[in-house]
Chains A and B, each alone.
Chain A
Amino acid sequence: MKEFNIVLAGVGGQGTLLAAEVIGSAAVRAGLNVRVSEIHGMAQRGGAVVSNVRIGENVLASTVLEGQADVLLGFEPLETVRNLRCASEKTLVMMNSQRIPPSELAANNSRYPSVEEVLAKIHVFTSKVVVVEAAELAKKAGNRLAQNSVLLGALAAVEGFPVKSESVVEALLELVPKKHVDVNVRAFELGRETVRKGRKRV
């Protein structure tokens, strides 16, 4: 395996950092080398949050080079667009459809870009896009907040993702608070199923 680069982009409070840690922990369980990079502090206050996960024997640097992401895992449409710099035609953009309007919109009385607009922007970089209805699936799993686990499941089903789903689930079990474990595992499975089915259709 050469290396596998993932950029996770979301909003403070969505569990982006936790998801990145789960991937990293799963990679270590699988005996792989990994770097998980995050920015704390100011970013926590409802601001944009980005995590970089790089898996591979020779990986040293913390962040994914421009255009070199294998997967851009977008937890929110606007934040997905904001991080397209890491994408190129080889990148799979996997995006949660759930919007979180920034408060700037209310203050300026401006509008959130439409799904078509967001997709058009992504298509400038890559045609490989999967939209995940993570909020719906998380709700189905038992808790709207488990969207990050849905997205992790979706990521685990991506071709070439170098860590087995079992390792990701093990890491989830360890990192998610005990009382939320069942919901999150269900959410993970739902996310994984969706992408698998989607792939068959293609």
Chain B
Amino acid sequence: MPDVKVLLQDAPGKRVLLLGNEAIARGILEAGVSVITTYPGTPASEIGDRVSEIASEAGLYMEYSTNEMVAVEVAAGAANCGVRALTAMKHVGLNVAADMLMTLAYTGVRGGYVIVTADDPECYSSQNEQDNRYYALLSNLPCLEPSNAQEAKEMTVYAVEISEKLELPVLLRTTTRVSHTRGPVAYGELKKPNLKGDFVRDVKRLVMVPANSRPKHEVLLRQAAKAKEMSEKSPYNKIVRKGMEIGVISSSSAYNCAFEAAVLLGLDAGILKLGMTHPLPEKMIAEFLNTHNRIVVVEELEPYLEMQVKAIAKDRAANTEVCGKMNVQYFPREGELTTRLVAAGLSKITSKKVPIDFQKIEKKYRAVVKGLPSRPPILCAGCPHRASFYVIKKVGGDRAVYPDDIGCYALGIAPPFGVGDIMICMGASVGTAQGISRVTGRDTVATIGDSTFFHAGIPGLVNAVYNGSRIVVAVLDNLATAMTGHQPHPGTGVTGMQNPAERILIEKIAEGCGVRYVRVVNPFRTKEASAVLKEALQQSGPSVVVFRAPCTLMDAREKRRRGVEAVPARITEKCTNCMACIRLLGCPAIVVEEGKVRIDENSCAACGLCVSVCPYGALEGSCAE
């Protein structure tokens, strides 16, 4: 976006191109939300990032919390003092926060509280593609699903309003295509934030011992019934297109595809667009069912709407046929929906012909891209993780097992390193390493990033000390939450308000947890780092080696700011084109042209790793050894 200050403009009616996530940030300002907490995660990150950039000017409090659970706790504390709050996270973050979510539904909130869950159909940058609408069903909390940036902004405001009316947290569920699609957004009026809360002691409401939880469960169900009434009248649940051939029920970005697919096929389709997808507007849906002979539910991932629509049909519209992906699978249950996929499904259901021959296009395309070199994401030139993986692979070889974690360093699985044997969720490297080490007796090196270590690595480390597990925890500390956009974390000494903070050192935490062997190394000093890692592997209990060097992208930015020029590595006449640098490092700045190794000066970050590893000393340049 242009200057982030655009978000602060007091200009109702102004139209601006905003990313879905930026629109949510604007919605925060229009709703008077005053406490914003987050843990960064694609596709949710820009919500917190934009707020972080404007928080002090806007008079808000914003923090990058250590994890999503803590983020919800902090915001829920504030919301229970009557302050409006919002927490943003990626879908899997809600798993981390689920313990809090499920019982916060019982206590409720006083100030409006919105939890944004950004789902990732197609796993563009996630380990799974779970459908978080089920959390609404599970917790009995209201859920809103915007389909574009304008709605993302409006629904943020609406979510705060209904949260306050119902005294319940509200889920705002986006998907990658909603969060990461830009569209025109019309500004509304700004609302002055209010950061001043008051805590009123109310044990029956806030202390969830069984005697209080039971009646609060009843309260939750009563409020959910009220929410259902709201859903019946919600301006976001409405028939957006009239038509009698079939009735389509859809939400979120799937709705966009459904509408365009209906137009493409020339279908006389009625479309019921649902923006509030929990609780569902049962009467509205029943009426829609009763005015159509055939209903098609178009939604991404799980048959969340379809299941409920079928239940409604059974009770209230027995003669209407409902289809989607449950019995006959007209639409895929995995991956993201596209207009093409929706058109294919609708075509099967209605026998209308798709006017574009997609199969022909696909056939031609397959032929044209056969053998085309791929371009997967790789570690950047100068990335300190490359040095760390080089050291880890050199020392651990094929002997060791390498549990891996969530972050840029997941790219260590790619050649030439192949470091990464099991990767499941945030922090899991430390725990899975212990199980593997316990039953195989093999050397086990868990690789985990700095931000991930703070997020979920510490309990696992305590467990390793307590239970005497023989593992090495290699913390790849690049001094930022790099993957999601270099957000600060407890180890960086900066807060979300962009103020200085106490810097919490990972090595001190490890020592505090009782780890006896703790070392900090510079990964670019490969010899020293290798010696330390060898020693760590010889310990009888857990050990921690912190590989510390700043993310190369941050480092380059900092150097540019200071006017320091990076002098690229240089290949001398000693080069025998043995390709060791290519084989060992896979650095994008080292290329081969006509059988000869060449340094691409535009991309070389002058990290010196190739200078260190060249067996002939044929490379010249700065080097940390």
Q: What residues of chain A have their CB less than 8 Å away from a CB belonging to chain B?
A: 11-12, 21, 24-25, 27-28, 31, 33-48, 58, 60-63, 65-68, 78-79, 81-82, 84-85, 88, 101-110, 112-113, 121, 124-125, 174-175
Q: Are A37 and B180 in contact (CB under 8 A)?
A: yes
Partner among B125, B256, B411, B590 whose Cβ is within 8 Å of the Cβ of A62: B256
A112 cross-chain contacts in B, Cβ below 8 A:
373
**Beyond A41-B124, A106-B591, A125-B364, is A62–B375 a contact (Cβ under 8 Å)?**
no
Q: Are A81 and B372 in contact (CB under 8 A)?
A: yes
**Beyond A45-B377, A63-B338, A65-B339, is A40–B256 a contact (Cβ under 8 Å)?**
no
B43 cross-chain contacts in A, Cβ below 8 A:
40-41
**Beyond A61-B257, A65-B356, is A34–B184 a contact (Cβ under 8 Å)?**
yes
Contact with A along B313-346 (1 / 0, CB 8 A): 0000000000000000000000000111000000
Q: Are A24 and B17 in contact (CB under 8 A)?
A: yes
B408 cross-chain contacts in A, Cβ below 8 A:
45
A24 cross-chain contacts in B, Cβ below 8 A:
17, 182
B373 cross-chain contacts in A, Cβ below 8 A:
78, 102, 104-105, 108, 110, 112
Interface centre among A11, A42, A63, A103 (most CB of B within 10 A): A103
Q: What residues of chain B have their CB less than 8 Å away from a CB belonging to chain A?
A: 1-2, 15-17, 42-43, 45, 124-125, 147-148, 176-177, 180-184, 253, 255-257, 259-260, 263-264, 338-340, 356, 358, 361-362, 364-365, 367-369, 372-380, 408, 411, 415-416, 483-484, 582-583, 586-588, 590-592, 595
Interface centre among A36, A40, A78, A81 (most CB of B within 10 A): A40
Closest 10 CB pairs of A and B: A41-B125, A47-B377, A41-B42, A60-B256, A45-B377, A36-B182, A61-B256, A102-B375, A106-B592, A174-B2
**Beyond A21-B1, A66-B340, is A46–B380 a contact (Cβ under 8 Å)?**
yes
Q: Are A45 and B125 in contact (CB under 8 A)?
A: no
How far is it, in angstroms, between the C-alpha of A40 and the C-alpha of B588 when the chains are bound? 20
**Beyond A41-B42, A67-B361, A121-B368, is A107–B124 a contact (Cβ under 8 Å)?**
no
How far is it, in angstroms, between the C-alpha of A37 and the C-alpha of B416 when the chains are bound? 33
How far is it, in angstroms, between the C-alpha of A28 and the C-alpha of B358 when the chains are bound? 31
How far is it, in angstroms, between the C-alpha of A124 and the C-alpha of B34 when the chains are bound? 56
Q: Are B377 and A42 in contact (CB under 8 A)?
A: yes
17 pairs from A and B in contact (CB 8 Å cutoff): A12-B377, A33-B183, A33-B184, A35-B182, A36-B182, A37-B181, A40-B180, A45-B408, A45-B411, A46-B378, A47-B378, A60-B255, A63-B339, A65-B340, A78-B375, A81-B369, A104-B376
How far is it, in angstroms, between the C-alpha of A125 and the C-alpha of B17 when the chains are bound? 32
**Beyond A106-B592, A107-B416, is A62–B181 a contact (Cβ under 8 Å)?**
yes
A48 to chain B: closest residue by CB? B375
- Min C-beta distance of A32 to chain B, whole Å: 8
How far is it, in angstroms, between the C-alpha of A74 and the C-alpha of B326 when the chains are bound? 40
How far is it, in angstroms, between the C-alpha of A68 and the C-alpha of B416 when the chains are bound? 39
A105 cross-chain contacts in B, Cβ below 8 A:
373, 591-592
A38 cross-chain contacts in B, Cβ below 8 A:
180-182
Partner among B2, B148, B484, B586 whose Cβ is within 8 Å of the Cβ of A103: B586
Known: A31-B15, A33-B183, A38-B180. 4 other contacts (CB 8 A): A34-B183, A61-B253, A104-B374, A104-B375
**Beyond A35-B181, A63-B338, A88-B361, is A107–B582 a contact (Cβ under 8 Å)?**
yes
A66 cross-chain contacts in B, Cβ below 8 A:
340, 356, 358, 361-362
B176 cross-chain contacts in A, Cβ below 8 A:
39
- Min C-beta distance of A34 to chain B, whole Å: 7
Q: Are B378 and A103 in contact (CB under 8 A)?
A: yes
**Beyond A47-B376, A78-B375, is A40–B367 a contact (Cβ under 8 Å)?**
no
- Min C-beta distance of A109 to chain B, whole Å: 7
- Min C-beta distance of B180 to chain A, whole Å: 6
How far is it, in angstroms, between the C-alpha of A95 and the C-alpha of B350 when the chains are bound? 40
Q: Are B375 and A37 in contact (CB under 8 A)?
A: no
- Min C-beta distance of B378 to chain A, whole Å: 5
Q: Are A175 and B377 in contact (CB under 8 A)?
A: no
B416 cross-chain contacts in A, Cβ below 8 A:
107
- Min C-beta distance of B555 to chain A, whole Å: 16
A20 to chain B: closest residue by CB? B182
Q: Are A36 and B365 in contact (CB under 8 A)?
A: no
B592 cross-chain contacts in A, Cβ below 8 A:
105-106, 109
How far is it, in angstroms, between the C-alpha of A113 and the C-alpha of B369 when the chains are bound? 11
Q: Are A11 and B367 in contact (CB under 8 A)?
A: no
A78 cross-chain contacts in B, Cβ below 8 A:
372-373, 375
A103 cross-chain contacts in B, Cβ below 8 A:
378, 586-588, 591
How far is it, in angstroms, between the C-alpha of A68 and the C-alpha of B356 when the chains are bound? 9
- Min C-beta distance of A87 to chain B, whole Å: 9
Q: Are B369 and A82 in contact (CB under 8 A)?
A: yes
B591 cross-chain contacts in A, Cβ below 8 A:
101, 103, 105-106
Partner among A27, A36, A40, A84 whose Cβ is within 8 Å of the Cβ of B42: A40
Q: Are A61 and B260 in contact (CB under 8 A)?
A: yes
Q: Are B15 and A28 in contact (CB under 8 A)?
A: yes
A106 to chain B: closest residue by CB? B592
Q: Are A42 and B124 in contact (CB under 8 A)?
A: yes
Q: Are A39 and B124 in contact (CB under 8 A)?
A: yes
How far is it, in angstroms, between the C-alpha of A51 and the C-alpha of B411 when the chains are bound? 23
B583 cross-chain contacts in A, Cβ below 8 A:
107
Q: Are A25 and B148 in contact (CB under 8 A)?
A: no
How far is it, in angstroms, between the C-alpha of A109 and the C-alpha of B263 when the chains are bound? 48
B3 to chain A: closest residue by CB? A174
B183 cross-chain contacts in A, Cβ below 8 A:
33-36
- Min C-beta distance of A170 to chain B, whole Å: 11
B356 cross-chain contacts in A, Cβ below 8 A:
65-68
How far is it, in angstroms, between the C-alpha of A84 and the C-alpha of B595 when the chains are bound? 31
Q: Are A39 and B582 in contact (CB under 8 A)?
A: no
Interface centre among A25, A62, A68, A124 (most CB of B within 10 A): A62
Q: Are B375 and A79 in contact (CB under 8 A)?
A: yes
Q: Are A44 and B377 in contact (CB under 8 A)?
A: yes
Q: Are B378 and A28 in contact (CB under 8 A)?
A: no
- Min C-beta distance of B505 to chain A, whole Å: 27
- Min C-beta distance of A159 to chain B, whole Å: 23
B256 cross-chain contacts in A, Cβ below 8 A:
60-62
How far is it, in angstroms, between the C-alpha of A108 and the C-alpha of B264 when the chains are bound? 44
Q: Are A46 and B588 in contact (CB under 8 A)?
A: yes
How far is it, in angstroms, between the C-alpha of A174 and the C-alpha of B6 when the chains are bound? 11
A81 cross-chain contacts in B, Cβ below 8 A:
368-369, 372
A36 cross-chain contacts in B, Cβ below 8 A:
17, 181-183
B588 cross-chain contacts in A, Cβ below 8 A:
46, 103
How far is it, in angstroms, between the C-alpha of A124 and the C-alpha of B259 when the chains are bound? 31
- Min C-beta distance of B270 to chain A, whole Å: 16
A109 cross-chain contacts in B, Cβ below 8 A:
592, 595
Q: Are B377 and A46 in contact (CB under 8 A)?
A: yes
- Min C-beta distance of B156 to chain A, whole Å: 19
How far is it, in angstroms, between the C-alpha of A45 and the C-alpha of B382 when the chains are bound? 12
How far is it, in angstroms, between the C-alpha of A82 and the C-alpha of B375 when the chains are bound? 10
**Beyond A39-B176, A39-B180, A102-B373, is A84–B368 a contact (Cβ under 8 Å)?**
yes
